Amino acid sequence: MTGREDAGRAVAERAEAAIRATFADAGCEGWLHAAPIPASASQAPPSSVSVDAHRPVAMASVYKLPLAIALAREFDAGSLDPGEQVAIDPTTTTAGPSGVSLLRHPARLSLRDLAVSMMAVSDNAAADLLLARVGLAAVDAVLRDAGCRATRVRFGTAGMHEWLLEATETSTLGEALAAMREDTALDVGAHDPAFVSSTTAADMVALLTALWEGRLASAAETAELVSTMGRQLFRYRLASGFAQPGAEVAGKTGTIGRLRHEVGVVTHPGEQPIAVAVFTRAARSEPELPVVDAAIGRAARQAVNALRPGWLGG
């Protein structure tokens, strides 16, 4: 190992130790992977920063990212028209805190606009309407083409809700989430990657890298999706770690129960983009845990800084 490689490894080790401390201080477990895009763009070691990056974790709404890519490929192939109008019936849509999940009256939106709502505000109803059109096989193909061997999308949000109702023996989503908070065994089971859609931090960085490099969809569809991810309204996780002028963050969150995640790409002016995936599981089950949200941003900053050219901090 050369002196440069030794120095790079030391930088990575310091970053990884700092990230573990960040997760511990926030009262959560954490999994993280970060790498420059493309991988060869790293001007000096280390080439990546990882904290249990190959350990499987439940995806929550992060599954909407490969779904969005699968939809983009359908647009590219001409199998679906982005302008096609989709009827939305509030009596049958998937429950959720945002987007068309909140509608009170029937409406119509284009497939493109449903995709924007799915990615910008993590719209559950929009995601399930799109998954019904695209299909799980198309999502699997995206993951396969990106080299995500440890990722499996088993169902959409509606399927996850059905699983929760059955596991908790309740009749509404609110009752199911309350039961999870009160019963540790139920809580752990609902987050078990063996039963629900799951991935790893390393796989999500591979997916982001393939998307940013234009290997999964046309240039036009890639630009559309990247732009939408940059307009995501949730800025309290990854983006909270990069408040400095000029830094750009494009990401996708995931949340259910104790799980709080975000995967995305951070770009500083004049530098290569860096893909980063952060997954967390809180020790406490409160519906809102700002300290964990902030830890996602801080851990991402610690990882990204270690990979920036010329950075020698601890």
Tell me what the mean pLDDT of segment 147-155 comes to.
96
> Looking at the DSSP assignment, which residues form a beta bridge with residue 49?
34
What amino acid occupies position 220? A
> Which residue has 């130790």 as its token pair?
17
Domains of the chain (ranges plus CATH)? 9-307 (3.40.710.10)
Quick check: pTM over 0.85? yes
**Phi, psi (deg, nearest 5) at residue 89:** -110, 110
Q: What is the pLDDT of residue 285?
A: 73
CB contact at 8 A, 293 and 280: no
Tally Cβ neighbours within 10 Å of residue 136.
Answer: 17
Q: Mind listing the pLDDT tens digit for each residue in 258-279?
A: 899 999 999 999 999 999 999 9
Q: What is the pLDDT of residue 44?
A: 58
Q: Mind listing the pLDDT tens digit for each residue in 10-67?
A: 888 999 999 999 999 999 999 999 999 986 655 556 899 999 999 999 999 999 999 9
H helix and E strand count, the chain: 11, 9
Q: What is the pLDDT of residue 211?
A: 98
